[in-house]
Chain A
């Protein structure tokens, strides 16, 4: 899996709309180089058979999937080291680059699932991450039980956080009728959603 983070994306994420000073451009390039060396991306998904004991988001779907992706532990270890060394700007930039990278890993994972669904005759699907509207964080446990044999190297904390932190997981569904409770429109942060904003939907 090849994940690339363009410098422009990184600068935009940090807030720059105009080219920043050379010192920052140099640091951004250094951190992107470092990121490439630190990435150990892994992803996996699984089609879910049967209709028993499903998370509510998947109920009634014709095709059901769970998926997860991670960038591995080296990145966050390096971010911590940089903070500890007093290189906070470098740590922040590297961490931000990692956030973009894990989102890209999520897109690759989603594309893989959609391709699989397409071979089964489905083009349009929906995905939801635990913690999002209508999907409890506790659903993480179910997802990772489904993916336990995939060797992703993602551990869950007692509060269902993923370690390494630059990891993501989601449920995906194709076909069938979705209950309205999962609509984004009912979310209090609908008009201020960072995810929708990043996708140019706001």
Chain B
């Protein structure tokens, strides 16, 4: 039964993923098995295949949606101490930048992979990133920029995190951003694309 859930997510079949999860629950399968061996295992492979160029963004989004449909049925079964989420990520587009498609895709992939995501939208000030990360007890702050002119505010977020000794890791991405800039501002990681970003987030949290 877990195999059918896995396949439904792999193939991006939203309704089927939900109905298979429901069937598994009705058959008293362990919620953690459904989550880890079915939904998350499939999404991990989808992410890998995307990174390798075997799958493209629409297929990843379908799979993420299928995973989410299954997650919605599982969430009530996890107590507040037994978190279904792998971690919490605050995400947004850097101050001055209004481009959000890439950031939205990363947010969906993170959610699809079991992370809790607080999406601050576009044109987010450094203070707002920090404020929200503290509010939701985030593990990671993820920032995106499409233009070189908006990249410096990413450095400001890193500076605030370090200056205040806050427990957040920072990952950055976007077309003009690269590893050299990541090192220059002292961010913890650079995501070359959505799949790489997801991989780095998982790596930073050891999940």
Q: Which chain A residues have a beta carbon within 8 Å of chain B's beta carbons? A: 14-16, 20, 24, 27, 79, 83, 86, 88-89, 91-93, 95, 131, 137, 157-161, 163, 165, 189, 194
Contact A159 B150 (CB under 8 A): yes
Which residue in chain B gives the minimum CB-CB distance to A162? B98
Q: Does B27 have its Cβ within 8 Å of any Cβ on chain A?
A: no
Give the segment of B37-45, B59-67, B160-168 that binds chain A: B59-67
Q: Is residue B97 contacting chain A, with contact meaning CB distance below 8 A?
A: yes
Shortest B53–chain A CB gap in Å is 7
Candidates B101, B175, B176; contact of A95 at CB < 8 Å: B101
CB neighbours of B61 from chain A (8 A): 88-89, 92
Contact between A159 and B58 (Cβ–Cβ < 8 Å)?
Answer: no
Q: Let me know if B58 and A92 touch, CB within 8 A.
A: yes
Evaluate whether A27 and B58 lie within 8 angstroms (CB atoms) in the complex, with A95-B101, A161-B97, A161-B98 already known. yes
B149:A159 contact, CB within 8 angstroms: yes
CA distance A189 to B98 in the complex (A): 22
How far apart sit A88 and B100, CA to CA, in the bound complex (Å)?
12
**A165 touches which one: B64, B98, B149 (CB < 8 A)?**
B98
Q: Decide: B57 and A14 in contact? CB cutoff 8 A.
A: yes
- Mind listing 17 A-B residue pairs with CB under 8 Å? A14-B56, A14-B57, A24-B59, A79-B101, A88-B105, A88-B108, A89-B57, A89-B58, A89-B65, A92-B58, A93-B58, A95-B101, A137-B149, A157-B98, A159-B98, A159-B123, A165-B98
CB distance from B18 to the nearest CB of A (A): 13
Q: Are B58 and A24 in contact (CB under 8 A)?
A: yes
Contacts of A92 in B (CB 8 A): 57-58, 61, 101, 105
Contacts of A15 in B (CB 8 A): 53, 56-57
List residues of chain A with CB within 8 A of the CB of B108. Answer: 88
Q: How far is the CB of B90 from chain A (nearest CB, A)?
A: 18
B104 within 8 A of A: yes
| A88 & B98 in contact (Cβ 8 Å cutoff) | no
- Chain B CB count within 10 A is highest, among A14, A24, A89, A131, for A89
Contact assessment for B58 and A131 in the assembled complex, using a CB-CB cutoff below 8 Å:
no
- Residues in B with CB closer than 8 Å to A14 are 56-58
| B96 part of interface (Cβ distance < 8 Å) | yes
Those 8 A-B pairs whose CB atoms lie nearest each other, nearest first? A159-B96, A89-B61, A15-B56, A89-B58, A88-B61, A161-B98, A137-B149, A88-B108
